[in-house]
Amino acid sequence: MIATVGYYEEWWIQVLKAIVIFAVGLQLVPVVVLAERKLLGRFQARYGPNRIGPYGALQPLADILKLLTKEQFRPSTSVGFLFALAPLISIVTAVAAFAIIPFGNVQNIFGTPVGLYGVDVSIGPLYLFAFGAIAFYGIMLGGWSSGSKYSFLGAMRGAAQLISYEVAQGLALVGVIMTAQTLSLTGIVEAQKGMWFIVPQLFGFLIFLTASFAETNRAPFDLTEADAELVGGYNTEYGGGRFASYYFAEYLNVLVVSGIVTTVFLGGWLLPFGIHPPGWVDPFVVLFKMSLFTFLFIWVRATLPRLRYDQLMSFGWKVLLPLATLNALVTAVLVVVTH
């Protein structure tokens, strides 16, 4: 037995839930893509896409159609099997990580108790980091099997970066886990009934957020892509549907990280000031909090320039890691003293 599950429904509810969550996650990605392009435009005092559909709302559809009708090509130096497999790994891990974000606790839907999450594993954050570690293979294999120097450099950077920042990210969560005394994400949300963890774990929150930017390869840590120096980084040689997969995975990862931050630090579906709305509001509360973080991701991308590689490394190992360790230590002492 590796992990126990908090609440377990009938198999057909599980299947239905999986479809619903996958469908919702899938629909959120084009929204985030469009939001990013529109907001980046606004941050730069221009409109962003506004030609296709009302206010450019159909732009992601046009993008996807364009990408999917492109020829599937690969360089003659590439390793065909891995070249095709790598984007799949990226997308599968992103979708799998999305499964553990709780949008609400167990609700009565037509007399059937259903948990508003894919699965409530008792190892929530570990599950997340496991898939985060596998997601790195998507980038690494994609970059290596392309048989191109830019892809390879991007992939190597991605490897080093993901390993460095995953440590800090994990340690930042340790404080929360010790305070909540549970690894279940619904349990962590329930533990925030009195006070959201963003208040007692402010440093943990900041460290986790910073490391998350690096984990999702977003600006200012987008050295794996680094279009100014590496053309497109690990996905230089990709086009068409495979590029679309990478693109999709990137934005789904942004959503996943937003969801995790919401769950772990911002009280998930809980509302402040003791407001208790009916259960069907919970998913919308979570989606609203997630959209706040997605906005922050876009905002930061519009603001901060890309770090230099040595800055990235020294920041990860010399600043974030000691701070995260300190945070975990102090929390541990406080937890022991107060209990």
The residue ranges that bind another protein (CB under 8 A) are 39, 41-47, 50, 299-300, 302-304, 319
Cβ nearer to another protein, comparing 46 with 276: 46
d(CA 103, CA 105): 7
Q: How far is the CB of 318 from another protein (least distance, A)?
A: 9
The residues near 262 (Cβ < 8 Å, ≥ 6 apart) are 101, 268, 286, 289, 290, 293
Q: Quick one: DSSP state of residue 10? A: -
**Is the peptide bond preceding residue 60 cis, with omega within 30 degrees of 0?**
no
Three-state DSSP string of 47-61? CCCCCCCHHHCCHHH
d(CA 243, CA 265): 33
Which regions of the chain does DSSP assign to beta strands (E)? 106-109, 112-115
Neighbours of 336 (CB within 10 A): 9
Q: How far is the CB of 207 from another protein (least distance, A)?
A: 12
Q: How far is the CB of 195 from another protein (least distance, A)?
A: 24
Q: How far is the CB of 51 from another protein (least distance, A)?
A: 9
Cβ nearer to another protein, comparing 17 with 306: 306
d(CA 218, CA 295): 13
Contact indicator for 251, 32 with CB cutoff of 8 Å: yes
Cβ nearer to another protein, comparing 111 with 305: 305
Half-sphere exposure of 284 (CA within 13 A, CB side): 5
Q: How far is the CB of 193 from another protein (least distance, A)?
A: 30
The residues near 319 (Cβ < 8 Å, ≥ 6 apart) are none
Q: How far is the CB of 35 from another protein (least distance, A)?
A: 13
Cβ nearer to another protein, comparing 73 with 299: 299
CA nearest to 13, candidates 91, 102, 160, 116: 116
Q: How far is the CB of 323 from another protein (least distance, A)?
A: 9
Cβ nearer to another protein, comparing 277 with 322: 322
Cβ nearer to another protein, comparing 56 with 124: 56
Half-sphere exposure of 13 (CA within 13 A, CB side): 18
Cβ nearer to another protein, comparing 126 with 302: 302
